[in-house]
Amino acid sequence: MIKFFAHLNTITRHRHKVMRLCFKLGLYRQGLTHDLSKYSPAEFIPGVKYFQGNRSPQAREREIFGYSAAWLHHKGRNKHHFEYWAEASCSAFIFIRMPAKYFGEMVCDRIAASKIYMGDNYDDGKPLEYFNKNTHLDGMNEQTRRDLQYFLTMLSEHGEDYMFCRLRQFIRERMREEREAKKLNKGK
């Protein structure tokens, strides 16, 4: 029963941190709907079972079984994970650049996860450190990787306020480009 409430508390605190960070970027819908699938039985039950408090329960599930069923469920429903944007064709995988609003949510997610799991040991360099040590780049679009590394480096070197100001501008510009590209494609 202790793990139940500890896991519930962890995912709820994480959601609230992501929500606040997304709101800084003007990503209100992403903030409000972030990680709702974590409350579904497919993700919540393994989350309780493999809860450790200092890292994702999915990491423990992966150590035991070689994969995480909860993660497979999660990444297939949450567009802020770069793995969502991999498409299998007949002969290969195509790695799609993440749309701006989901990219922004991913940055917020990584910062919030670092804050939750690291607690008082968090500093603005931790999300970049985690990215460099633990992010398996298989399946990440090259431009998405460069953008993510750029903003996490900026966070590490200049702090959260500076990085969020630049990220907000980046997202606005990219969303404008994405809207224009959609209009052009409709005209064809």
**pLDDT value of position 163:** 98
pLDDT level of residue 188 (50, 70, 90 thresholds): low
**pLDDT value of position 60:** 93
Is there a contact between 62 and 51 (Cβ–Cβ < 8 Å)? no
Tokens read off for 188 = 């064809």
pLDDT tens profile 31-58:
999 999 999 999 999 999 999 988 899 9
Given a cut of 80, whether residue 187 has pLDDT beyond it is no
Given a cut of 70, whether residue 119 has pLDDT beyond it is yes
Tokens read off for 96 = 């799609």
> Residue 87 in 3-state DSSP?
strand
**pLDDT value of position 186:** 78
Q: What percent of the chain has pLDDT over 90?
A: 85
Is there a contact between 128 and 156 (Cβ–Cβ < 8 Å)? yes
Q: Which of 60, 62, 64 is nearest to 3 (CA)?
A: 60
**pLDDT value of position 183:** 86
Beta bridge partners of 95: 86
**pLDDT value of position 139:** 80
User: Which are the contacts of 163, defined by CB distance < 8 A and separation ≥ 6?
Assistant: 151, 154, 155
Alpha-carbon radius of gyration of the chain:
17
Report the alpha-carbon distance of residue 157 to residue 186 in Å, rounded: 41
pLDDT tens profile 74-96:
999 999 999 999 888 777 888 99
DSSP category for residue 1:
-
Compute how many other C-beta atoms are within 10 angstroms of the C-beta atom of residue 10. Answer: 19
Residue 86 has φ and ψ, to the nearest 5°, of: -110, 130
Is there a contact between 68 and 46 (Cβ–Cβ < 8 Å)? yes
